[in-house]
Amino acid sequence: MSGTSDSVQNNIGPKRLVVGAHYGLRDWLAQRVTATVIGTYAVVLFISALLAPEPGYGGWAGLFAATWMKVFTLLALLALIYHAWVGVRDIWMDYVKPVGVRLALQIFTILWLVGCGVWAVEILWRV
């Protein structure tokens, strides 16, 4: 082998290429940031629902009438979509080894999540 190229010589010590995509740290951080957004939203929604001015439909739907709540809900949902993507992809990477099957499941996951996101926008801005 003519393994004297730069790529070989530079892949030593801390510069060693361990994995290909380098998304480990990014996803680790994203998982925590998105989780915090979702958790905060859940607490805000729970308290808002408890403090709703009237019981039943009026009070509940009224929560989502305000633009800030629509935006907050959508942000939480976008966080949820990314969070679920990282988590579900981890499941496929851990248990599904055949590349073709894994790719199919990953495509399904993306379509499922993006579909849910589009639907949520449509629901939110209908009210």
Number of residues that bind another protein (CB under 8 A): 24
Minimal distance, residue 58 CB to another protein, in Å:
8
Is residue 75 part of the contact set for another protein (CB under 8 A)? Answer: no
Cβ contacts of 61-70, under 8 Å, gap ≥ 24: 61/127, 64/124, 64/127, 65/127, 70/124, 70/125, 70/127
Is residue 103 part of the contact set for another protein (CB under 8 A)? Answer: no
Q: How many other C-beta atoms can be found within 10 angstroms of the C-beta atom of residue 22?
A: 9
The burial class, CB within 10 Å (0-12 / 13-18 / 19+), for 74 is: middle
- Return the residue matching tokens 């009438």: 65
Segment interacting with another protein, rule: CB under 8 A, options 2-10, 18-26, 98-106, 114-122: 114-122
Alpha-carbon distance of 103 to 96, in angstroms, equals 10
Is residue 91 part of the contact set for another protein (CB under 8 A)? Answer: yes
Q: Which is nearer to another protein, 103 or 118 (CB)?
A: 118
Is residue 105 part of the contact set for another protein (CB under 8 A)? Answer: no
Is residue 39 part of the contact set for another protein (CB under 8 A)? Answer: yes
Question: In the chain, what's the furthest Cα-to-Cα distance?
Answer: 76
Is residue 56 part of the contact set for another protein (CB under 8 A)? Answer: yes
Out of 30, 75, 84, 96, the only residue in the binding site for another protein (CB under 8 A) is: 84
